[in-house]
Structure 1
Amino acid sequence: MPSRRLMLQCALPLLWTVVAQAESGPSQDTWTGLKPMFFGDRTIDEAPGYVALEAPKRAEDAALVPIDLKFPRRETGDRVVAATVIVDENPSPLATTLRRGALDGAFDFGLRLRVNSYSYVRVIAETETGALHMAKAFVKAAGGCSAPASKDPEEATANLGKMKFRSFAGQGMAEAQAMIRHPNYSGMQMDQITRLYTPAWYVTQVAVRQGDRLLFSLENGISLSEDPTFRFTYAANGQPVRIEAKDSKGADYAQTFSADGAAY
């Protein structure tokens, strides 16, 4: 039987490895491989002032991880026009690419993601001049991409493409929420009856307009959560808001709402 001294000697290297990882932080190895795939040899600056990212350190539900992006007003110009959200350890890391409309000023945007294992979540903002700036957060979550849908297929189909819009203030800068009913299957969920994987079927494109003006658009991968929901700031001016979406089967969905959220 090994002595306590021998067991301690064997355990010490593992202990020091754990301590070293804790001190150095989570590994950046995955990002080292991903960065050239999405951005080539372009320089990405991590200096603050262009974008901030807020995410829970430990997610309550890996299939519904809230992510908040904040784009401050740039007093010196070089406005952020697009942002790419990447979940390093997801099977398909590119979650979405956000493109802003023409409105100036600060812009906040929130969405919910599937996170499949402990991972960095990153947002890489691109300015009008083509400069790239990154913010990141490490999220402890597991199983988000394979988590079963919360609704049965019949209910999901019956409500497919239905939308909601809600504004949380009156005139001036306000916060709003847009929601699209869609199962957003990632392709990794298993049918508990057939024991077969449900094919991927998800919202690929979203555009939200206020009158004739684009507020934002999205190009999505499989990492958006079921019933994609977005919170965003905008200038509430009484004009109607229209939500348009397309999914991976080519289906189109659209609905127009009055400024107070009533459907037309």
Structure 2
Amino acid sequence: MIGHRLPSTLLLGAWLLGACLAFAPAKAADGYDPWPGLVQDIFNNKPMQDGSGVLAIEMPTRAEDASVVPVTLRSKLSPADERRIRTITLVIDQNPAPLAAKFTLGAEANVTAISTRVRVNNYTDVHAVAELTDGQLYVVKTFVKASGGCSAPAAKNPEEANARIGQMRYRQFSQAGDGASSGIREAQVMVGHPNNSGLQMDQVTQLYIPAFFVDKLTLSQDGSLVLSVEGGISISEDPNIRFTYVSNGAKHFRAEAKDTQGHVFEHEWPAQSSGT
């Protein structure tokens, strides 16, 4: 009826759908490369150097499931290098919201590997940009064949997903070799959350489910930052971060998460624990 306005959730869903279609595989086939524009929008056109000696990005060439594509970011800096990685920005070029996540590494935590799972909407380049303590940016990329990851239905039904919101799990993995003596640890934190992209459709109502996701996750050991993550719609359902770091002898490991509706979830575990 004339004069009636669409609900904001429907407008958001329609806008994201339009963005998704704008980045369809046909565009890639036409040779469209969004990366130069993303460098301007995300990094303010700051110069970038080849990062092959600084950072590695590992993803499958062809994704088995476009809604949960594994990605690992691994530091290649020599221990003798006085520089350290300050941040890593993950960009999925052809996704409706290309900025997937920004990882800030604790100054003393010596994080050398980060793994998570992402949604990939089309055949696309995926870039990882490391900012080092010298202020320089270094970029690496890989190519992934996937389709429909942003609009794929949730793996869990809404009731189950909502029941899990805010639940946190922490695992610590044993290190081979000198892990115990060197203080190097490998751990994993999972946050129960639907991480709705805004492009998924409710199978009953046929309406788009509003975007609703974890946009901030902070991990620390006795108050000292290990890793923080600023995430978007490209991070998969139940955000899952696995990483290596160096223990500072802390007795407790803490996770705090915030989502786009302002909910705050937090949990603390004994640093030596591998419990949930």
Whether the TM-score (by the shorter chain) exceeds 0.5 is: yes
The whole-number CA distance in structure 1 between the counterparts of 2:242 and 2:169 is 12
**In structure 2, distance between residues paired with 1:41 and 1:154:** 44
Alpha carbons 2:109, 2:246 under 8 Å: kept: no
C-alpha separation in 1, matches of 2:72 and 2:224: 23
Structure 1: which 5+ runs fail to align?
Answer: 1-24
Bigger Cα displacement from structure 2, 104-113 vs 249-258: 104-113
**2:114 aligned with 1:103, yes or no?**
no
Give the aligned residue type for 1:257.
W
Residues 1:28 and 1:110: Cα distance change in structure 2 (over 3 Å): farther
Structure 1 position 155, deviation (Å): 1.1
Residue 142 of structure 2 corresponds to residue 143 of structure 1: no
Number of equivalenced pairs: 239
2:273 alignment counterpart? 260
Which residue of 1 is the match for residue 75 of structure 2? 71
Contact preservation (8 Å) 1:72, 1:106:
no
Deviation at 1:106, TM superposition (A): 5.8
Deviation at 1:104, TM superposition (A): 5.8
1:227 and 1:37, CA in 2 relative to 1: closer, same or farther beyond 3 A? same
The Cα of 1:262 is off from its aligned counterpart by: 3.2
How much does 1:117 deviate?
Answer: 0.5
The alignment status of 1:162 with 2:167, answered yes or no, reads yes
Percent identity (aligned): 42
C-alpha distance in structure 1 between counterparts of 2:161 and 2:223, whole Å:
31
Are 1:218 and 2:229 matched, yes or no?
Answer: yes
The structure having more radius of gyration, on CA atoms, is 1
Cα distance in 2 between the residues matched to 1:46 and 1:254: 38
CA distance in 2, matches of 1:162, 1:104: 25
SS in 1 for 2:159: helix
SS in 2 for 1:29: coil
Q: 1:247 aligns with which of 256, 259, 262?
A: 259
Q: Which letter maps to 1:97?
A: K
Q: Distance in 2 between matches of 1:105 and 1:28?
A: 38
Aligned to 2:87: 82
Residues 219-245 of structure 1, C-alpha deviation per residue, up to 9 Å, x if partnerless? 111100000001100224462211110
Structure 2 segments unaligned to the other structure (5+ residues):
1-28
Partner deviation per Cα, 1:64-123 (whole Å, 9 max, x = no partner): 000000013442322110011000000000001100002264610001000000011111
Q: Does 1:182 align with 2:193?
A: yes
* Alignment partners' CA distance in 1, 2:32 and 2:52: 19
Instruction: Report the 3-state secondary structure (helix = DSSP H, G, I; strand = E; otherwise coil) of the residue aligned with 1:32.
Output: helix
**TM-score with structure 2 setting the length:** 0.82
Q: Could you tell me which residue of structure 1 aligns to residue 46 of structure 2?
A: 42
The 3-state SS of whatever aligns with 1:154 is helix
What is the root-mean-square deviation in Å for CA atoms of aligned residues?
Answer: 1.8
Given that 1:73 and 1:106 are in contact with CA atoms closer than 8 Å, whether structure 2 keeps it comes out as no
